[in-house]
């Protein structure tokens, strides 16, 4: 589109008054403070990135600094059951921490050019309204509270559906309970979230 007005991304959602959640902005781990429990990505510029990981505190060996990194499910299990898990040491220059950007931003044009990224660092992740996100079961989601705050560390456990009173919603679980479901078989407690308050990270 050229020369015209930028389309309003909320035009299809006129009742949505709250700003979207903050975006996720990967930041080099050597620019962050405490790393224990933080969500991280690892990888190489020009090669690719691996997500859904958690970090432990930095480790110095000789002149090199490393970050112990583990799969997120293992981190949750270790924390819940107070057990030790294997965490390979990744050079700190190959680790990025998920930080939060500014609330209220929203991508406009979703064409191919708008989706192109640099391979020099992991891409920024903008939240997507659950209504526009396609399949959501198992994905990281954010609930917007009435006061504009955010509840994170949630996973969707259903797709969008109509509840008993006709509202469109999805059910979500705390991420710890989501992962515990896999290792223990115990179904998580879930919470019903109206679609206009639910975003995919």
**Cα 128 to Cα 23: distance, rounded to the nearest angstrom:** 10
Contact 136, 199 (CB under 8 A): no
- Residue 199 CA to residue 201 CA, distance in Å, equals 6
Cβ-contact 199, 129 below 8 angstroms: yes
* Tens of each residue's pLDDT in the chain, 201 residues: 344 443 444 445 555 557 899 999 999 999 988 999 999 999 999 999 999 999 999 999 999 999 999 999 999 999 999 999 999 999 999 999 999 997 654 545 556 777 788 889 999 999 999 999 999 999 999 999 988 899 999 999 999 999 999 999 999 999 999 999 999 999 999 999 999 999 999
Confidence (pTM): 0.84
Rounded Cα distance, 126 and 19, in Å: 13
Predicted confidence (pLDDT) per residue in 132-143, tens digit: 999 999 999 999
């Amino acid at each position: 589109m050229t020369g015209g007005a930028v389309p309003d991304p909320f035009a299809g959602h006129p009742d949505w008054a709250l700003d979207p959640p903050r975006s996720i902005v990967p930041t080099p781990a050597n620019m962050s403070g405490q790393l224990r429990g933080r969500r991280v990505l690892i990888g190489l510029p020009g090669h690719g990135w691996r997500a859904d990981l958690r970090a432990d505190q930095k480790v110095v060996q000789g002149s090199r600094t490393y970050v112990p990194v583990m799969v997120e499910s293992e981190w949750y299990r270790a924390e819940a059951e107070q057990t030790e898990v294997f965490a390979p040491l990744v050079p700190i220059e190959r680790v990025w921490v998920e930080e939060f950007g500014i609330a209220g931003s929203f991508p406009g044009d979703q064409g191919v050019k708008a989706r192109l990224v640099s391979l020099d660092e992991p891409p920024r992740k903008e939240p997507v309204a659950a209504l526009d996100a396609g399949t959501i079961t198992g994905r990281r989601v954010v609930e917007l509270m009435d006061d504009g705050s955010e509840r994170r560390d949630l996973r969707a456990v259903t797709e969008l559906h109509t509840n008993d009173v006709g509202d469109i919603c999805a059910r979500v679980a705390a991420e710890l309970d989501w992962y515990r479901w896999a290792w223990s078989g115990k179904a998580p407690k879930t919470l019903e979230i109206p679609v206009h308050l639910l975003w995919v990270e």
